[in-house]
Structure 1
Amino acid sequence: MSDRFRVVPAAYIFLLRAGASSDEVLLQLRQNTGYMDGHWAAAAAGHVERGETAYDAARREAREEIGVELGDLTFVTSMQRTQHAEPIDERIDFFFSCRSWTGAPRIVEPAKCAALDWFPLDGLPDPVVPHERFVLDRLGTGVESYTTFGF
C-alpha cells in the first residue's frame, strides 16, 4: 500500500444577510446523512466533482440543496483537515460566503435536512459541525486564507 493519500475536495456556502444586531447565516440541520446528523451546518455544501471548480461546486450545491442561484461568491478560506484517521481520510474544504442570490432558500432534500434557519453569527445554535464552527467563529474577523483542523 502506498503512503500517499487521496484528498477529497468539498465546497461550503454560507449565505449571509444583515440582521438586527449582527450578520446572520443560513444553516441546515443535518439528518439521515451518516455524517454529523443532528448538527447544524452550512445551508449548502458538497463534494467537488471531477472537472468542476470549487466555485462551480458551490453554485451547483446551492441549486441542489436550497434551490437558489448564487450571486457573487466571496472566498473565505481553504481548510486542510483530518480526523486523525487513516491518511486516506484527509480533506480539503473550500469555504465561500454569499450575500446575494435569486430565489427563496428552501429545503430541497427533506430526507437529509430537518430544518433550515437563520442565526446571528454571534448566537449560533448548538451543536454546529466542528470544522464549520471553526470557520463561522472567525467569519468577518480576517480568517486566514489557509487553515488546518484536526492535526
Structure 2
Amino acid sequence: MSSPAPSPVDTDTDPHHGRFVVVPAAYVFLLRQGDEGPEVLLQLRRGTGYMDGHWAAAAAGHVERGETAYDAAHREAREEIGVSDLDLDFVTAMHRTRGGEPIDERIDFFFTASTWRGEPRVVEPEKSAGLRWCALGGLDALPDPVVPHERAVLESLRRGTTTPYSTFGFDAATRDAEAPEEGRSR
C-alpha cells in the first residue's frame, strides 16, 4: 500500500517553508534648513519594546501586507507625527540582520522628505517621548544614543555617500551594536 502524496506547501503563508524571510519597514527622515545648516527631525522612542530610550527617525514602521514601502512611509508619517503630502526621496534599501531568529532578518526602506503638509507633532505619546530637530552636519551634535542602523544612514546622508543598497549587522561589530535584549519589533 502506498502512502498519499504530501500536500504542497503554501510558501506564502506557511512559516516553515524553509525559505529566507525578511520583515520590511519604512523610515522617514524629515529634513529642513536650519540656522547652522541641514537639520533632521528625530523622535525619542519609548514604550515600544525596541530601542526605547534611543533617538530614531521621526516616522517609521512595518510595511503592511499589500502596501508598498512608499505607502507605508506616508502612512507612518500621518500616524506618528501628523504630517501628510510628503515629497519622498528614496535614500537606500538596507538589508539588516542580527543573525538570530527569523524576526531579526530585515529590509529597511529609508526616505527623506523636505516638504510636507502639517506641523510635525507627537501623535502617539505612548510610543514617543518627544521630537527634536538636530543638526545633520555634525553627527556629534546628534542626541545620544541614536538607533545604530539609523545612525549609519544619517552618517551616509551627512557625507553624501548614500547608495541604493546598503547592509547592516552582517559583521560582528554592527551586529553587536544593535543588540537590545528587550523586544524585537519596530
TM-score by length of 1: 0.95
Q: C-alpha separation between the residues in 2 aligned to 1:148 and 1:67?
A: 30
- Which of the residues 131, 135, 157 maps onto 1:139? 157
Q: CA-atom RMSD, angstroms?
A: 1.2
> By how many angstroms is 1:20 displaced?
1.5
Dislocated runs of 4+, deviation >3 Å: none
Which has the larger share of helix?
2
Q: Distance in 2 between matches of 1:47 and 1:22?
A: 31
- TM-score, normalised relative to structure 2: 0.78
Partner-residue secondary structure (3-state), 1:41? strand
2:95 equivalent in structure 1: 80
Matched ranges for 1:60-139 at <5 A: 60-121=75-136, 122=138, 123-139=141-157
What letter is aligned with 2:166? Answer: T
Deviates further, 2-11 or 45-54: 2-11
* Farther-moved stretch of structure 1 (85-94 vs 5-14): 85-94
Partners of 1:135 and 1:94 lie apart in 2 by: 11
Provide the C-alpha distance between the structure 2 equivalents of 1:70 and 1:28, rounded to a whole number of angstroms.
20
In structure 1, the residue matched to 2:65 is 50
Counting strand residues as a fraction of each chain, which structure ranks higher?
1
The higher relative CO (CA closer than 8 Å, separation ≥ 6) is in 1
Deviations 1:7-59 (A, max 9, x none): 11000000000012220000000001000000000000000011111000000
Give the conservation status (yes or no) of the 8 Å contact 1:17–1:23: yes
DSSP 3-state at the match of 1:131: helix
Deviation at 1:6, TM superposition (A): 1.5
What SS is found at the alignment partner of 1:135? Answer: helix
Residue ranges of structure 2 left out of the alignment (5+ in a row): 1-15, 171-186
Which structure has the bigger radius of gyration? 2
Q: Deviations over 1:75-106 (max 9, x none)?
A: 00000000121344210000000000111000
1:16 to 31, 38, 62: 31
Consecutive unaligned residues of structure 1, counting only runs of 5 or more, are none
Q: Could you tell me how far 1:142 is from its partner in structure 2? A: 2.6
The size of the alignment, in residue pairs, is 151
Percent identical among aligned pairs is 69
Query: How far apart, in 2, do the equivalents of 1:70 and 1:45 lie?
Result: 16
